[in-house]
A and B are shown apart, each in its own frame.
Chain A
């Protein structure tokens, strides 16, 4: 049997979903017997590989890097799972949306708020420009399954992975889809 190729990505989120992923504890050993985690912020892999079976995307799309990465992930993944509330709905990351133009928020935080030496952090190629509005993942790329929760509890992630390993989509009824 070929081993499943699983990836996880960390976009505009707090990494809480990845902490919850690690909360699966000893089940991770069982996962390691049947699958390879080929890309993840908790694995030392620099480039997103090709031919990934399923990618769990944590976080909303807040800046141009997030957007580029999401498109790249979609091209190279058979299935994409929106992993956690930020990916599903924008959640906390999108709480800036009602405030309008992001540059005004950046100014308020980095220029107006400090007592001295306020400046807008910018460096081409290092600090990615913010998108005008934070987007949930499915507003930029096709998403095959949604795994809400802030964070999704470990048993919910495990249930999703167990279904995916059997070739099914994760459960999307009842408590499996509770936000918050």
Chain B
């Protein structure tokens, strides 16, 4: 029995108990209430950048990112309204319009959280003009490839490399439409002295931006159980692989 103190919150009109300090997204996930998300990854810090997990909170006209909103007493949260559906779909359209996302030729076709989220939010086409930015692929690393055309700046790689691996190879540089990922002080990834080749960044990338050398279209695999282990093992004090622990 979890003995943490709780507060009462309402999800779509139904009363629930939230732990004090718990985010709306964490609470909803624990209760089995579906809220879509993209940049969120359980076990690492919250970024709140993608805005896919927006929810409505009563008497506030602003939408709130569920991952970065803390549950407070008597909060009335709506997770599924026509307005939210419209905004989530717009977010996906903007993400697709911003980069060069060509599912048909992508290593992650069929194993992509962005592609899945487009299906989930009902994006059948993009109303905005595609920006078609010109971006250079970094294939200098012997083991991995970075394709910024497919990057949505979710910063999962930045966070997992810093907080779990402790290497902090990745960062975001520049601003606005020029913002992009860099390795070390904007050196080619292959020349990075701090990269440990652990591959955590590749494992958690939701799109095809980070992948393994030598993989062709649709050959990327993401293992959700491994990602979960990567991000949560430390919190759970799991120092051995499940098969070793037996």
Q: Which residues of A contact B (CB under 8 A)?
A: 82, 85, 88-92, 94-95, 97-100, 133, 136, 138-139, 143, 146, 148, 150, 172-175, 177-180
A92 and B104 form a contact (CB under 8 A): yes
Per the 8 Å Cβ criterion, residues 80-133 of B in contact with A are 96, 100, 102-106, 109-110, 112, 115, 118-119, 122-126, 129-130, 132-133
A91-B103, A178-B118, A180-B109 given; 17 more Cβ-contact pairs under 8 Å: A85-B103, A88-B124, A88-B125, A91-B102, A94-B102, A94-B130, A98-B134, A98-B149, A100-B134, A139-B129, A146-B125, A148-B124, A150-B103, A177-B118, A177-B119, A179-B104, A180-B112
B135 CB–A CB distance under 8 Å: yes
B115 and A97 form a contact (CB under 8 A): no
The 5 closest A-B pairs by CB, nearest first: A180-B103, A150-B104, A97-B132, A146-B124, A177-B124
Residues of the A chain whose Cβ atoms lie less than 8 Å from the Cβ of B126: 89, 136
Residues of the A chain whose Cβ atoms lie less than 8 Å from the Cβ of B105: 92, 95
Nearest neighbor of B125 in chain A, beta-carbon distance: A146
Query: Binary interface profile of B, 116-159, with partner A (CB < 8 Å = 1, else 0)?
Result: 00110011111001101111000000000000010000000000
Tell me whether chain B's interface is mostly helix, strand or loop, or mixed. Answer: loop
Residues of the B chain whose Cβ atoms lie less than 8 Å from the Cβ of A173: 122
Q: How far is the CA of A90 from the CA of B105 in the complex (A)?
A: 13
B132 and A180 form a contact (CB under 8 A): no
Residues of the B chain whose Cβ atoms lie less than 8 Å from the Cβ of A150: 103-104
A178 and B130 form a contact (CB under 8 A): no
Q: Could you write out 11 A-B pairs with CB less than 8 Å apart?
A: A85-B104, A92-B102, A92-B104, A92-B105, A94-B132, A95-B102, A98-B135, A136-B125, A146-B124, A180-B104, A180-B115
Nearest neighbor of A148 in chain B, beta-carbon distance: B124
Q: How far is the CA of A173 from the CA of B124 in the complex (A)?
A: 8
Q: How far is the CA of A85 from the CA of B103 in the complex (A)?
A: 9
Residues of the B chain whose Cβ atoms lie less than 8 Å from the Cβ of A92: 102, 104-105
Which of these, B100, B118, B129, contacts A95 with CB under 8 Å? B100
Residues of the B chain whose Cβ atoms lie less than 8 Å from the Cβ of A175: 119
Residues of the B chain whose Cβ atoms lie less than 8 Å from the Cβ of A146: 124-125
Residues of the B chain whose Cβ atoms lie less than 8 Å from the Cβ of A178: 115, 118-119
Q: How far is the CA of A88 from the CA of B134 in the complex (A)?
A: 21
> Taking the nearest CB of chain B, how far is it from the CB of A22, in angstroms?
19
Residues of the A chain whose Cβ atoms lie less than 8 Å from the Cβ of B112: 180
A172 and B102 form a contact (CB under 8 A): no
> Taking the nearest CB of chain A, how far is it from the CB of B220, in angstroms?
12
Nearest neighbor of B218 in chain A, beta-carbon distance: A180
> Taking the nearest CB of chain B, how far is it from the CB of A19, in angstroms?
14
Given contacts A146-B124, A179-B118, contact A91 B104 (CB under 8 A): yes
Residues of the B chain whose Cβ atoms lie less than 8 Å from the Cβ of A179: 103-104, 115, 118
Given contacts A88-B124, A89-B126, A174-B119, contact A180 B134 (CB under 8 A): no
> Taking the nearest CB of chain B, how far is it from the CB of A153, in angstroms?
13
Q: How far is the CA of A82 from the CA of B126 in the complex (A)?
A: 12
Residues of the B chain whose Cβ atoms lie less than 8 Å from the Cβ of A90: 130
